[in-house]
Structure 1
Amino acid sequence: MEALYWGCLIGGVIFAIVTVVLGDILSSALDGLLDFLSVDFLNPVVIAGGITVFGGAGIMLTKYTELTTGAHVTLSVLAAIVISILVYFGYVKPMENSENSTGFSIKELAGRIGVVTVPLPAEGYGEVMVKIGAGNTMHIASSFDHQNLPAGVRVVVVDVVEGVLRVSELEERIGEG
């Protein structure tokens, strides 16, 4: 049984080293190969961590306790499950949530609030700044209502036509109407 524990420990350590050193190469080579395993918990980091802990706990229990083989295996499996759960919720899940893309489709801008940076004439084009995530993006815009919109006015993107944002004033300007 000790040979199994040592195999799991050494295999897990080798897997960790290989994924750290060759992670990008392996990731691109295996891209999409294991997508049929769509369960999030079957992440390689979680599995390798569990196997490594199983091996390490088994070795320690065998050397430092007088328990039976069945107790060693049971406690090693429990240790592996607990550590795997901790790795999943403490590392894997937060890292998945942190992988935010800065890419967006211009069609996604409909309904967003922006600010006119280059005045929009009633008939013609200007520029609008729209906040996307943590940054801002500038786009060519035209007035949806065919009104003059000076710089600094808050607008809402009504729709996008041929890459041009069509915007309408969000608030009435003081002194009008």
Structure 2
Amino acid sequence: MLRAVDTVRDVATGTLIFLIVGAIGVAVLVLALLGGELLHFGQPDFDGPVSTETVAGFAGAFGFGGAIVNELLGARTPGMVALAVAGGVLAAVPTAWVASRLGRAARDMPTDPTPTRAHLVGALGLVVTPVPADGYGEVRVRVAGTPVKFNARADRPIPAGAQIFVVEALSDTSVHVETY
């Protein structure tokens, strides 16, 4: 009877070790995804040969895959533990590859450039507050798909509700407009 209890304890210990490795992998992945840009460990400009996401994916899948195989086999001998390790590696390699590809795709994703004052020229909009000939009014212009209000000057008065286009960006918050 004592032998059966020792076997259960051995299986539970092996599984526990695999589960701890898997949990460490998940914790590293969470740190990489949520705090990767905020908390640079080591040299921030150094990209090693393997990304943090790849290591985390490998460790997580290895730990959880090894725990599953260990429980299914009831690993009693070093050979069975070696099979559990092999099962963990079998789960970890494709997971690490997928994590590497997804991480690279996210880092290399093309994005639109940040809009600047130069992007305002030619933009269409609407007068919100009448634009007098000798002062400023307000216009609403779409910048990168988002409606933004600007102070506006014009060569002649423009009433509220008139459609306009931007002739020049005078500053980051004001534009020179004409009717459309």
1:128 aligns to 2:139 (yes or no) = yes
| Contact 2:25/2:55 (<8 A) preserved | no
Which structure 2 residues correspond to residues 106-121 of structure 1 after superposition, within 5 A? 106-121=117-132
| Contact 2:63/2:88 (<8 A) preserved | yes
TM superposition shift of 1:117 = 0.6
For structure 2, the residue ranges without an aligned partner over 5 or more in a row are 1-10, 74-78
1:155 aligns to 2:167 (yes or no) = no
| Contact 1:155/1:168 (<8 A) preserved | yes
1:141 aligns to 2:156 (yes or no) = no
- Other structure's SS at 1:79 match: helix
**Match for residue 49 of structure 1?**
57
- Amino acid corresponding to residue 10 of structure 1 in structure 2: I
For structure 1, the residue ranges without an aligned partner over 5 or more in a row are 172-177
Scaled by the length of structure 1, what TM-score is found? 0.57
| Contact 1:9/1:53 (<8 A) preserved | no
Residues 19 and 89 (structure 1), Cα distance of their counterparts in 2 relative to 1, 3 Å cut: closer
**Match for residue 46 of structure 2?**
36
When the two chains are superposed, the root-mean-square deviation of aligned CA atoms in Å is 4.8
Q: Distance in 2 between matches of 1:27 and 1:127?
A: 38
The number of residues matched between the two structures is 159
Larger Rg over CA atoms: 2
TM superposition shift of 1:32 = 9.2
- Amino acid corresponding to residue 72 of structure 2 in structure 1: Y
**Match for residue 94 of structure 2?**
82
TM superposition shift of 1:53 = 0.6
TM superposition shift of 1:56 = 1.9
